[in-house]
Every structure is written in structure tokens, then in C-alpha cells.
Homo-oligomer: A and B are copies of this chain.
């Protein structure tokens, strides 16, 4: 079992894209700059998509160009197509995160592309990215379940991963987009993919929609996964699954691993200070729990009269 995990902070992209209000560009940049020195492996800064599709991230170019870069941190952008690749590279993105859906209904709803459509576009996008020296990753949405179709056949995901690996892409992220995965399912699929493609970097992107986020992270870790996406405060969600809570919360995930004795590289106390400012930034309470309860290291005073 590995004793080190690597965490990508995705709130600036997966969280802010679904916020009820537009987070001002300067606030986005300030948040990313506050997160940069805290020890994350990567920060998903934004998404180079159509401003019509995701108005909240219409400032993608300005955000990516405006942040301070901490050496060793991979600054990631989600890119759905060749135009996104060009914009992301022009803005100085370190890592291109191509996005597709394992299930065709979700792909059509989210990207107007089936899985086959997306895969057909990735070869040219990968060539462009590789020529520019960018790291390349594919995030597979609905890798465990689709809110329209139900469970997704692991054989389908395996076929998709085979196609991605054949393109010379460095990493794949399995996304439980609407929190449908359970720990056994996560463990089984991750074990299978790690065994088949041991050099492909496998990341888990989990949502806590049904409370299983940390349990799924634990199951993935026990299956050999060492890379996780997470969002500050547990921001995020899915527009097609109302009522759903968001991503696995960064500070809760870091806290769990650190309590288990697994190093994350992240400065948890500093992260909690940033997390505690988040409700003021977004204008509402957020799901993260350690920011409210304090870490397991916290000591409470004895009640009066007990000594």
C-alpha cells in the first residue's frame, strides 16, 4: 500500500462552474494563489469551453494568465475540443485535461458528443498538446454510473481507457460525476485498470452526492490509486442531478489520509484557513466538515466542575 497520495484541487473549475453566481476573476486568481503553495500536486484552474456553455468560466484566459505559478504544481485546464487546446496552451496551461463521458447520453447532454466522437477528436488534440510540451490527461465522466442510463459497464470504460492509452496520453481520471459509485465498484475497476495499464497515471474524481466520497477514496487507495481530485469546501455538483452535493472535499480528504498516516504533501492547517474563508467568497455554506468541526487533533475544554 502506498504511503503517499497526490491531490489535485479542482474547486476553481469544477466548483466555480456551477456556483449560482459568477465568482469575480480577481477572487478566482486570489484563491488559486492562496492554494498554490499548500502542497497540491495540481490545481485545475479553469475550463476552456464556450462562455455560452459555462458562463461562470468565461474568464478562463484571464485567470490562467493571471495566477502566480508555484514550481512543482501542475496548472491544469479542462479542454473539450481543439479550440480549447489552443486557448489553454496560449494561456500557459501545464496540463490539458480532455473531457469525455463514458455514457453517450451524458456525453450528448454535457458535450454534444458521444464517447466515440470524443475519442476521435483526442488524437489531434493530443498531438497539439504534446508538441507544446503539455502534460495530457483524459477525465472520463460517468465512469461508474450515468444519471440518465444507470450503471456503466466496466468493459466499456476499459475499452475507452485502451483507446486513450494508445494515444500516448499520460493519465486518465475516472469521474464519479453524480456520486453513484460504491466502494466495491471503485476498488474493482481501479484494480483492473492498474493491472492492465500500470504506467498510466490513474486519478479518482469522486463526488460525495450520497455520502460515499471518502469511503470510495479509501477503497480506491486500497486498490492502489494514489491520485485524487478534490474540491475546497466540497464545492461542485452536477447540473443534471439536482439535490446532489459536490465533489469530495479537499480538506476532509487530506485530513482522512493524514490521520491514517498517509502523506498528502498538503499543509492541512493552512488549507483549513483558506477553506474557512470560502463561504464568504461564494456566499453560502459549503459541505466540508473538518473546517467546521476542526481536525481530530482538536481538544475541547472540560466542562465546568469536571476536573
Asked whether B299 lies within 8 Å of A147 as measured between CB atoms, the reply is yes
| Residue A84 lies at the interface, judged by CB distance under 8 Å to chain B | no
Contact with B along A138-176 (1 / 0, CB 8 A): 000000010111100000000000000000000000000
Q: Which residue of B lies closest to A252 (CB)?
A: B211
Minimum CB–CB distance from A246 to chain B (whole Å) comes to: 11
How far does the alpha carbon of A213 sit from the alpha carbon of B212 in the complex, in Å? 9
Asked whether B182 lies within 8 Å of A259 as measured between CB atoms, the reply is yes
Query: Which chain A residues in 257-307 approach chain B with CB under 8 Å?
Result: 259-261, 288-290, 292-303, 306-307
Asked whether B295 lies within 8 Å of A210 as measured between CB atoms, the reply is yes
List the one stretch of A36-44, A54-62, A194-202, A214-222 in contact with chain B: A214-222
Asked whether B296 lies within 8 Å of A180 as measured between CB atoms, the reply is yes
| Residue A47 lies at the interface, judged by CB distance under 8 Å to chain B | no
A256 interface neighbour in B108, B150, B182, B249, Cβ under 8 Å = B182
| Residue A34 lies at the interface, judged by CB distance under 8 Å to chain B | no
| Residue A184 lies at the interface, judged by CB distance under 8 Å to chain B | yes
Asked whether B145 lies within 8 Å of A289 as measured between CB atoms, the reply is no
How far does the alpha carbon of A110 sit from the alpha carbon of B293 in the complex, in Å? 20
Note all chain B residues with C-beta closer than 8 A to A8.
none
Asked whether B303 lies within 8 Å of A211 as measured between CB atoms, the reply is no
How far does the alpha carbon of A234 sit from the alpha carbon of B77 in the complex, in Å? 37
Asked whether A256 lies within 8 Å of B297 as measured between CB atoms, the reply is no
Asked whether A303 lies within 8 Å of B260 as measured between CB atoms, the reply is no
| Residue A17 lies at the interface, judged by CB distance under 8 Å to chain B | no
Among A148, A149, A288, A293, residue most surrounded by chain B Cβ atoms (within 10 Å): A293
| Residue A65 lies at the interface, judged by CB distance under 8 Å to chain B | no
Known contacts A211-B256, A217-B215; A240 and B300 CB within 8 A of each other: yes
The 5 closest A-B pairs by CB, nearest first: A182-B259, A211-B252, A214-B215, A211-B289, A180-B296
If A183-B260, A215-B218, A241-B300 are given as contacts, then 4 extra A-B residue pairs at C-beta distance below 8 Å, sorted by A number, are: A108-B307, A182-B296, A210-B289, A212-B214
